[in-house]
């Protein structure tokens, strides 16, 4: 009897002693994408300037415009008085050193190389914002979207401008497998990130070529190459926007949707 009564009396004290949500500055557009789904808008005091650029953003522009954007320098970050700074793997050494000197917590998230790793990052970011439950929810949705397909794997290759190919050990590789493809980069003997010359592609083409021309551009120099155009008559060449490759996290949901869509087109 005494205990609930004591708790009731103590409630106001407990409430006022509850920590407020930490002030977050993100200097990475992929982290912004996660924050958009797990953080309170009030606690986001800074996002990456890339998120406000239509060509590079991974969040809806309307959402991004509500927040202050920085170019990621320590000077701008300090002015926002964050409790914690969230960043991707590549931050300029001078900025890291400056933040350390000014005793501002910086957490860097490396590029996720698989769906489970991406889900862990989502949970970690959500925990940093003080909303672990929302992180769990988002991770569950990602898992659902990335459920492995039960169809026969079809040979595919993601081919970026200049011939850049994501190989084994990348997130894109994991997504391809789950959507019912077999990443042909290993067959070509390519490394984790490598360049595939056009000749090899034409000599031994995959069944599906996912070409990532930049947003709003029909064909770049490579995908518009006559040799590739001729290939398109025999194999499926499907556009795969770079925007879907920039980040993991929530973007996985859209990426998987697109990949499954392409997979469904392949009948033979």
Query: What proportions of the chain, in percent to the nearest 5, are helix, strand and coil?
Result: 45, 15, 35
Q: How far is the CB of 141 from other proteins (least distance, A)?
A: 27
Q: Tell which positions 26-55 bind other proteins, by CB under 8 A.
A: 49
Residue 78 found at the interface with other proteins (CB under 8 A) = yes
Residue 164 found at the interface with other proteins (CB under 8 A) = yes
In whole angstroms, how far apart are CA 5 and each of 1, 2, 10, 11, 195?
7, 5, 9, 10, 69
Residue 61 found at the interface with other proteins (CB under 8 A) = no
Distance of CA 261 to the CA centre of its chain: 20
- DSSP strands (E only) in 65-201: 69-70, 84-87, 105-108, 154-160, 164-166, 181-183, 193-195
Q: Name which of 80 and 132 has its Cβ closer to other proteins.
A: 80
Which phi and psi angles does 210 have, rounded to 5°? -100, 110
Q: Tell which positions 123-162 bind other proteins, by CB under 8 A.
A: none
Q: How far is the CB of 95 from other proteins (least distance, A)?
A: 5
Angle, nearest 10°, between helix axes 171-178 and 251-265?
50
Distance of CA 254 to the CA centre of its chain: 11
Q: How far is the CB of 114 from other proteins (least distance, A)?
A: 16
DSSP state of 20: P
Question: Residues 193-212: x/- map of binding to other proteins (CB under 8 A)?
Answer: x-------------------
Residue 107 found at the interface with other proteins (CB under 8 A) = no
Q: Name which of 180 and 249 has its Cβ closer to other proteins.
A: 249
| Residues forming the site for other proteins (CB under 8 A) | 49, 69-76, 78-79, 81, 89-90, 92-98, 101-102, 111, 164, 192-193
């Amino acid at each position: 009897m005494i205990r609930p009564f004591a708790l009731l009396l103590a409630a106001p004290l407990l409430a006022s002693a509850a920590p407020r949500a930490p002030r977050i500055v993100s200097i990475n557009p992929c982290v912004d994408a996660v924050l958009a789904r797990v953080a309170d808008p009030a606690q986001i005091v800074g996002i990456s300037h890339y998120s406000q650029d239509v060509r590079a953003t991974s969040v809806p522009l309307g959402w991004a415009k509500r927040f202050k954007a920085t170019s990621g320098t320590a000077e701008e970050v300090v002015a926002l008085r964050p409790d914690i700074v969230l960043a991707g793997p590549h931050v300029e050494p001078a900025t890291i050193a400056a933040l350390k000197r000014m005793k501002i917590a910086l957490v860097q998230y490396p590029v996720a190389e698989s769906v489970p790793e991406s889900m862990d990052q989502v949970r970690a970011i959500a925990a940093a914002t003080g909303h672990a439950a929302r992180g769990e929810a988002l991770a569950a949705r990602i898992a659902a979207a990335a459920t492995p397909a039960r169809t026969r794997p079809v040979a595919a290759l993601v081919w970026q401008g200049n011939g850049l190919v994501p190989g084994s050990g990348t997130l894109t590789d994991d997504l391809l497998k789950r959507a019912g493809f077999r990443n042909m980069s290993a067959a070509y003997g390519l490394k984790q990130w490598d360049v595939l010359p056009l000749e090899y592609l034409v000599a031994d083409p995959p069944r599906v070529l996912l070409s990532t021309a930049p947003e709003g551009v029909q064909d770049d120099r490579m995908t518009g190459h006559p040799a590739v155009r001729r290939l398109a008559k025999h194999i499926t060449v499907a556009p795969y926007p770079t925007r879907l490759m920039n980040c993991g996290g929530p973007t996985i949901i859209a990426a998987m949707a697109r990949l499954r869509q392409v997979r469904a087109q392949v009948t033979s």
